[in-house]
A and B are shown apart, each in its own frame.
Chain A
Amino acid sequence: KNEVEQSPQNLTAQEGEFITINCSYSVGISALHWLQQHPGGGIVSLFMLSSGKKKHGRLIATINIQEKHSSLHITASHPRDSAVYICAVRSHGAQKLVFGQGTRLTINP
Chain B
Amino acid sequence: EPEVTQTPSHQVTQMGQEVILRCVPISNHLYFYWYRQILGQKVEFLVSFYNNEISEKSEIFDDQFSVERPDGSNFTLKIRSTKLEDSAMYFCATTTGSSGNTIYFGEGSWLTVV
A interface vs B, CB < 8 Å? 30-31, 33, 35, 40-45, 48, 50, 86, 88, 90, 94-102
Contact = CB atoms under 8 A, between A and B. Distances in A.
Interface stretch (B18-26, B63-71, B78-86, B95-103): B95-103
B63 to A, nearest CB: 19
Contacts of B98: 95
Interface string B45-81: 1001010000110100000000000000000000000
Interface pairs A-B: 10 shortest CB-CB: A96-B45, A43-B105, A99-B43, A95-B48, A101-B42, A42-B107, A99-B42, A95-B56, A30-B99, A41-B108
B31 A41 contact: no
A96 B58 contact: yes
A61 B31 CA distance: 25
A7 B108 CA distance: 25
Given A95-B31, A95-B55, A96-B33, A43 B43 contact: yes
A9 to B, nearest CB: 11
Given A33-B103, A43-B108, A96-B56, 14 more contacts: A35-B105, A41-B37, A41-B108, A42-B105, A43-B43, A48-B100, A86-B43, A95-B48, A95-B55, A95-B99, A96-B45, A96-B48, A97-B45, A97-B103
B89 interface: yes
Question: DSSP class of B's interface residues: helix, strand, loop or mixed?
Answer: strand
Interface residues of B, number: 27
Nearest to B41: A101
A43 B58 contact: no
Nearest to B39: A41
A40 B37 CA distance: 13
A8 B107 CA distance: 26
Given A41-B107, A95-B55, A100 B99 contact: no
Contacts of A99: 42-44
Nearest to A6: B42
A29 to B, nearest CB: 10
